[in-house]
Amino acid sequence: MNALLPDIATILPTLLGGLQISLTLTFFSLLFGLPFGMLFSFGVTADNKIFRYISVFFVEVGRGAPALVLLQLMYYGLPNVQITLTSLVSACLALVWTTAAYTAELIRGGIQSVPHGEIEGSDALGMSVRDRLRFIVIPQGMRIALPSLMGFAVLLFQATSLAYTVAVPELMSQAYSTGSSTFKYLPAFIAAGLLYAAISIPATWLSVLTEKRLSRHL
């Protein structure tokens, strides 16, 4: 027990490279996932059947299946159809799917809770449907969805820890290899946990703060 703290202190800096990969993975999953999420949020209620079915498929599977299954599907599954990707790219694809599916629902929820009066206000002014979407519904809906999108980003960051199962050299996998080569499992995993917490906890506070700030304006 006495050796625990010094061990953590020694291991922690060696894991920073892994943390960087975790953050990069989070960033790219959001970067590519959010536009698809926006697209699917309209797709699931679209009149066009093909667009709707595709959207519903991606949203339902992306939300219904564990991220771990999607990760393995991309990594072990895609070679079956002659697509071989590096572990980082396949992990990114899986998390883009997860992101798109969850954010589609969050964005849709935000858009649906734009107060009816504001839509009526824009109608009465004679705004076109496109302008109404562009200036009222989407900005207002995104504002309402913003805190929950931030909350999702935190969960996504945590989910990147599962990418170690498909050999992405991120934080968790670095902790694991440190642990198995030195048998100092406990300090290695605690150090990794502290690094995850150091990002997740302030980020969660930020999302709560954002929610409070935004609700003040509404």
Partner 1 sequence: MSHTAPTKIRNVVQVRNLAKAYGDNVVLRDVSLSVPEGSVTAMIGPSGAGKSTVLRCMNLLEKPDSGEIEIDGHVINARKKISPKNLAALRRSAGMVFQHFNLFPHMTVLRNISLPQERILGRSRDEANTKTMELLTRMGLGDKADHYPARCSGGQQQRIAIARALALGPRVMLFDEPTSALDPEVGVEVLEVMKELASEGMTMVVVTHEMGFAANVSNELVVMADGCIIESGDPRQIMSDPQHERTRRFLRAVLER
Partner 2 sequence: MQMLQAIAVGLPLTILVTILALAIGTVLAIPLVAGLRSGNRLVWLLTRGTIDLLRGIPPVVWLFILYYGVSIGALRMSALQAAVIGLGLVAAAYLAEIFRGAIGSVHQGQWEASSALGFRTGTAWGRVIGPQAWRTAIPAYTTYGIGLLKDSSIASTIGVAEIVFMSNQYARQSGEGILVFFIAAGIYILLSMPLGMLSRHLDTKMRKAVAR
Under the rule (CB under 8 A), what is the footprint of partner 1? 117-118, 120-128, 131, 135-136, 139-140, 143, 216-218
Q: Binding of partner 2 at residue 11 (CB under 8 A)?
A: no
Q: Got the DSSP string for 146-186?
A: HHHHHHHHHHHHHHGGGGGGGT--SHHHHHHHHHHHHS-HH
Find the helix packing angle between 138-159 and 87-112, rounded to 10°: 140
CA pair distance 43, 70, nearest whole angstrom: 21
For residues 12 and 137, which CB has a smaller minimum distance to partner 2 in the complex?
12
DSSP label of 83? -
Range 185-214, binding partner 2 (CB under 8 A): 185-186, 189-190, 192-194, 196-197, 200-201, 204
Residues 106-165 that bind partner 2 (CB under 8 A): 158-159, 161-162, 164-165
For partner 1, give the closer residue by CB, 61 or 127. 127
What three-state secondary structure class fits 131?
A: helix
Taking the complex as a whole, the smallest distance from the CB of residue 152 to partner 2 amounts, in Å, to 12
Instruction: Taking each helix axis as running N to C, give the angle between helix 4-14 and helix 16-43, from 0 to 180 degrees, rounded to the nearest 10.
Output: 60
Chain positions contacting partner 2, by CB under 8 A: 60-61, 64-70, 72-73, 75-81, 158-159, 161-162, 164-165, 172, 175-176, 179, 185-186, 189-190, 192-194, 196-197, 200-201, 204
